Amino acid sequence: MSATVAGNGAGTKYVGQSMRRKEDPRLITGQGSYVDDISLPGQLWAAWVRSPEAHAKITSIDTSAAKERAGVVAVYTNADLDMEAGLPMAWVPPGVEVNTPDHWVLAKDAVKHVGDPVALVVGTDRYSVVDAAEDVIVEYDPLPVVTDPEAAIAGGPLVHEQFGTNKVCDWSLGGGDLEAGFAEADVIIERRIVNHRMAGAAIEPRGVLAQYRAGKLTVWSSTQVPHFLRLFLTILTGIPEDRVRVVAPEVGGGFGSKLNIYAEEIGCAWASIKLRRPVKWIETRSEGMMVTHHGRDQINYVKIGAKRDGTLTAWHTKILADLGAYQTLLTPLIPPLSAFVMSGVYNTPVVHTDVTAVMTNKFATDAIRGAGRPEATHTIEVMMDQLAQELDMDPLELRRKNFIPPFENGHETAMGIVYDSGNYVAALDKLLEHIDPADVHREAEALREKGTYRGIGFSTYTEICGNAPSRAVGPSAFGLQGGGWESATVRVHASGSVTLYTGTSPHGQGHETGFAQIVADRLGIDPSMVEVVHGDTDTGPFGLDTYGSRSLAVGGEAAARTAKKVADKATQIVAHQLEAAPEDIELRDGKWSVRGSPDRGMTLAEVAGAAYVPENLPEGMEPGLDEQTFYDPENFVFPFGAHACVVDIDAETGKVKVVRWVAVDDCGPAINPLLIDGQVHGGITHGIGQALYERIEYDESGQLITGTFVDYALPTAAELPSYETDRTETPSPVNTLGVKGVGEAGTIAATPAVLNAVLDALRPLGVTFIDMPLSPMRIWEAIQEAKGKAGAPA
């Protein structure tokens, strides 16, 4: 498959190639530098005293014993904090009231979830500060706890009394007449679908090192959002932004969980300002499970209507979203993202989504890979299979009947969301070139005699990413207190090598490779000559970081446009030097030359030489060869695809094994198919993890009972098949690269394919519906219940 690349006759020498990642040699030979690899002279360590109670008044805090412990330099409580504001939440939707509690770096008067930080201990030794934290005596007066969102909204104990309710907000998005839509339907089905809470579970825990020195604050943090962090450090500490530097060194994954401004980041920075010494904190895995934000935790009450022939007439989803006790950076904004894609890939004329967000005594939810779109896709694709059952129709035929027909330049959904381009039928057709459901069903029949139930499940999806047009997401439109643009600077050095500064902040996605391919093609050089610099706010311009599969479609496009500006200037210089017309200059085989005379030409190094020794530049041209772009896209981008999952279930034990996975994804022309495959593999694994194994669980008293990886099961290679991946390439009209995001696509697609496969397998046993996570116990119980209903011996 080839990629379309716009501009300057640049060709596609590197774009489209499966180049190996430039960043990997240093990462796999131990030469990467993570926060915990960095130490500074005079460095202190921080440890946090955390609440063991899910909800309680703090009646007293005695720090005296901790302060006496050898090496302890300071112990702080909320009374010591002189910050005027707490941790930020950045969504203020116009016309919608959002009940947002104060969220202090250290709890004030009361704790609202297990792990709520109550005191900060700072000392000279990494381990003795942890002991000292245990010496802090906090007395609590327990308050009633609510962990179930349905109980919380129905008048359960109040999480924050001042609001008189646990409701955070109501928010709706819809188009078309629901009553008329359902009146037209021959069949209406309703389900309650639970999308349980999960963790990001990045391989590197969070960590912070803050140093205040000579009036400048430098913070190294394992974060996805160094630029955001710098801005909020300025707001919360009062230090001007030019005196604050944030560095995200190597970051060992985030999966959304490091898209936040955390208490530990602000607390360590604040303590280092107070103490005039560097302060470091590295998260333990159990702290990570407790106070690194969680995701999902939605209940979807869905009602859909269709004609007897399968044509959808109306779709109504009510989302109850459990936000936890506090709202972190984007917490209440995530469920509305579900609403944006609730049409899925279907031409449903009436689609409404009503979000109710609620507080409970759990830690905050926020963006975890997919952020709202996996929840929507799960609901849509599970419902499509449920409807197919009701209509006694083939689930793929039902999908085909309702697919939005192929479009290249905009399709407006019932809700007024304009998808950029799509060809959903092509993705499904391609998927079926790889796998035939009839074959799987034949195999299933043979296996059943041995007690194994095989099933196949599908998911056809689209999602919204490439965040974002500022005028669509910004304060007056959607309420995000920020923009959606991205920056890029290209510096061509005098000897012809190139540095690209991007405002994105990768943490595993491979930007150093893909972005170098884009720039290299436009400048006629090898990608090894392009260094991609990111994650340090002291280099390059302000940027908006990495999340929401935005980096390539926004940041990569900014890089492409900047490289094109450099190429345009190079063209002018070469035309002048070769005494030719600029229109006659083309970039071919690493040289700008006169069309038809390939021998007369200049390489980038020669052009750079001319630009920096400006004896013979066109009249009025500035010396130098650096350029910069701030790119704000016209629309989001909407990748799509079709996935198939085959499972085997042991009916005796209820254990599910995924035995085959075929994925066809369309993220526009591939910059690097190897990077795409890596993203899709990781994404699917994330989805399978949620569907079968992973679950953050609190008991009724608000205790976290999945506090370690012993209780919170992550899938490993041993549980998974080798994935079969393929692509279609439908260019986006939104950017010149034609690209869409792929970082979350696999996760968004995956969970309904697993659930549909499990239900397909269990159908002969009479099981018609079940919720994730599809644990052996849950499956076994469903089988027993179905047998009981059928009158068979359980």
Q: Which of 8, 377, 499, 549 binds ligand MCN (CB under 6 A)?
A: 549
Per CB under 6 A, 519 contacts ligand MCN? no
3 state DSSP class of 587: strand
What's the token pair of residue 121? 């201990």
State in angstroms the smallest separation of the CB of 517 from ligand MCN. 8
- Residue 735 interacting with ligand MCN (CB under 6 A): no
Measured between alpha carbons, how far is 757 from 79 in angstroms, rounded to an integer?
Answer: 55
Specify the residue, 86 or 741, whose C-beta has the smaller distance to ligand MCN. 741
Q: Indicate which single residue of 508, 527, 715, 752 sits in contact with ligand MCN (rule: CB under 6 A).
A: 508
Give yes or no for residue 654 binding ligand MCN (CB under 6 A). no
Question: Considering beta carbons, is residue 26 or 442 the nearer one to ligand MCN?
Answer: 26
Q: Does 388 bind ligand MCN (CB under 6 A)?
A: no
**CA 28 remoteness from chain centre:** 24
The 3-class secondary structure across 411-447, one letter per residue, is EECCCCCEECCECHHHHHHHHHHHCCHHHHHHHHHHH
Rounded Cα distance, 300 and 772, in Å: 13
Cα→Cα distances 333→297, 484, 639, 748, 766, Å:
14, 15, 21, 17, 39
Query: Nearest CA to 290 among 249, 257, 329, 312?
Result: 257
Give the CA distances from residue 258 to residues 91, 278, 324, 368, 629, in Å, rounded to whole numbers and listed in that order: 18, 22, 17, 9, 26
Please say which residue, 490 or 651, places its beta carbon nearer to ligand MCN: 490
CB of 570 to ligand MCN, least distance (A): 24
Q: Which is nearer to ligand MCN, 413 or 546 (CB)?
A: 546
**Smallest distance, ligand MCN to C-beta of residue 88, A:** 20
3-class secondary structure per residue, 671-740: CCHHHHHHHHHHHHHHHHHHHHHCCCCECCCCCECCCCCCCCCCCCHHHCCCEEEEECCCCCCCCCCCCC
304 is a contact residue toward ligand MCN (CB under 6 A) = no
- 3-class DSSP assignment, residue 385: helix
450: burial class by Cβ within 10 Å (0-12, 13-18, 19+)? exposed
Residues with Cβ < 8 Å from 28, sequence gap 6 or more? none
Among 314, 391, 525, 676, binds ligand MCN (CB under 6 A): 676
List the structure tokens of 554: 């926004």
| φ, ψ (nearest 5 deg) of residue 764 | -60, -20
Closest CA to 43 of 214, 211, 207, 206: 211
- 591 touches ligand MCN (CB under 6 A): no
- Identify residues 184-213 at the interface with ligand MCN (CB under 6 A): 202
Both structure tokens of 389: 């059952």
> Does the footprint of ligand MCN cover residue 222 (CB under 6 A)?
no
- Interacting residues with ligand MCN between 353 and 372 (CB under 6 A): 369
Task: Verify binding: residue 227, ligand MCN, rule CB under 6 A.
Answer: no
Among 153, 739, 749, 786, binds ligand MCN (CB under 6 A): 739
Q: With respect to ligand MCN, which residue has the nearer C-beta, 300 or 747?
A: 747
505 binds ligand MCN (CB under 6 A): no
Please report how many Cα atoms fall inside a 13 Å half-sphere around the Cα of residue 713, on the Cβ side. 14
Mark 604-633 with x for binding to ligand MCN (rule: CB under 6 A) and - for no binding. ------------------------------
**Cα separation, 166 vs 89, whole angstroms:** 18
CA dist., res. 764 & res. 30, Å (int): 52
Cβ-proximal residues to 238 (8 Å cutoff; 6+ apart), any chain = none
Verify binding: residue 293, ligand MCN, rule CB under 6 A: no
- The residue from 327, 413, 499, 546 that contacts ligand MCN (CB under 6 A) is 546
Task: Pick one of 552, 594, 755, 774: the residue that binds ligand MCN (CB under 6 A).
Answer: 552
Of the residues 594, 675, 755, 765, which one makes contact with ligand MCN according to CB under 6 A: 675
Residue 260 CB, shortest distance to ligand MCN, in Å, is 12
Q: Which CB atom, from 437 or from 669, has the smaller least distance to ligand MCN?
A: 669
Q: Can residue 743 be called a binding residue for ligand MCN (CB under 6 A)?
A: yes
Residue of the chain from 298, 348, 509, 690 that contacts ligand MCN (CB under 6 A) = 509
What is the closest distance, in whole angstroms, from the C-beta atom of residue 674 to ligand MCN in the complex?
Answer: 8
Among 338, 603, 679, 706, binds ligand MCN (CB under 6 A): 679
Q: How many residues bind ligand MCN (CB under 6 A)?
A: 37
Task: Give the residue with the Cβ less far from ligand MCN, 15 or 107.
Answer: 15
557 binds ligand MCN (CB under 6 A): no
Nearest to 252 by CA among 469, 35, 415, 452: 35
Residue among 220, 547, 638, 640 that touches ligand MCN (CB under 6 A) = 547
Cβ distance to ligand MCN smaller for residue 455 or 683? 683
- With beta carbons less than 8 A apart as the criterion, state whether 55 and 142 touch: yes
- How is residue 248 written in tokens? 């995200």
- Binding-site member from 321, 611, 651, 670 for ligand MCN (CB under 6 A): 670
**Any residues with CB less than 8 A from the CB of 487 and at least 6 apart, and which?**
501, 502, 503, 540, 541, 542, 543, 544, 555, 558, 628, 629, 630, 631
Q: Any contact of residue 413 with ligand MCN (CB under 6 A)?
A: no
Residue 311's contacts (CB-CB under 8 Å, 6 or more residues apart) are 401, 402
Local structure of 298: helix, strand or coil: strand
Q: Which stretch binds ligand MCN (CB under 6 A): 261-269, 290-298, 670-678, 753-761?
A: 670-678
Calculated CA dihedral for residues 584, 589, 591, 596, nearest 10 degrees: -30
Based on the shown chain and the rule CB under 6 A, indicate whether residue 671 belongs to the binding site for ligand MCN. Answer: yes
Residue 668 is a binding residue for ligand MCN (CB under 6 A): yes
Question: Near ligand MCN by CB under 6 A, which window of 41-49, 135-143, 508-516, 592-600?
Answer: 508-516
Q: Shortest Cβ distance from residue 333 to ligand MCN (Å)?
A: 14
Please report, as residue ranges, which positions from 228 to 257 form the binding site for ligand MCN (by CB under 6 A): 253-256
In the complex, least distance from residue 588 CB atom to ligand MCN, rounded to whole angstroms: 24
Q: Which residues bind ligand MCN (CB under 6 A)?
A: 202, 253-256, 369, 506-511, 514, 546-553, 556, 667-672, 675-676, 679, 682, 739, 741-744
